[in-house]
Amino acid sequence: MNLHLVATLLGRGRQLERLSDGISLIALAYGLAPLLGAQLQPLASALCVLLLILGAVHKYWAIRVALDAELFSHLACRADLPSATQQLDRALFELNLKPTASDPRDWPSRSQAALGLLRRQAVCLALQVALTLTTLLTLPFIG
């Protein structure tokens, strides 16, 4: 049940990703406004670039969270968890996604690490939202 719960929590990362994608698209559209003849202040352009960088970092964490969500969901249904764990570790190693073929961590430790990825994703989104709100609130003053 713990693995299923972690998979469900990690699945919420998709909602965070959608919001981050929306902010990134708005920043991109705003940053491309000069192509339509609008003038942007250098500070506004820099803020758009920073939002896009945060969006890219967020996307990285979102991909990792989504992978873990699917793996936890798959493993939550397995009756032979120790064997499935060894198979998973070996497969990740063979795909060069893991440095060693075995991992001594137990599933509670792995769950905490996966939830740590979700927290990193949430922090990236929080930074994007804070920067967006800061930009919107200061935009009238910077041009």
pLDDT in tens, 93-139: 899 888 888 888 888 999 999 999 999 999 999 999 999 998 888 77
| Residue 84: per-residue pLDDT | 87
pLDDT at 142 over 70: no
| Residue 64: per-residue pLDDT | 94
| Residue 24: per-residue pLDDT | 95
> Which pair of tokens denotes residue 82?
């120790």
User: Is residue 84 within 8 Å of 75, Cβ to Cβ?
Assistant: yes
- Between CA 38 and CA 16 the distance in angstroms is 31
| Residue 143: per-residue pLDDT | 56
Judged by DSSP in three states, 143 sits in: coil
Please report, for residues 23, 30, 128, the alpha-carbon distance to residue 27 in angstroms, rounded to integers and kept in the order given: 6, 5, 10
- Between CA 123 and CA 128 the distance in angstroms is 9
pLDDT in tens, 48-97: 899 999 999 999 999 999 999 999 999 888 888 888 888 888 988 899 88
Of 8 and 104, which is predicted with more confidence? Answer: 8
- Between CA 10 and CA 118 the distance in angstroms is 6
pLDDT at 1 over 80: no
Number of domains in the chain: 1
| Residue 109: per-residue pLDDT | 92
> What does pTM read for this prediction?
0.84
Instruction: Provide φ and ψ at 88, rounded to 5°.
Output: -65, -50
| Residue 63: per-residue pLDDT | 96
Residue 100 lies in domain: 2-142
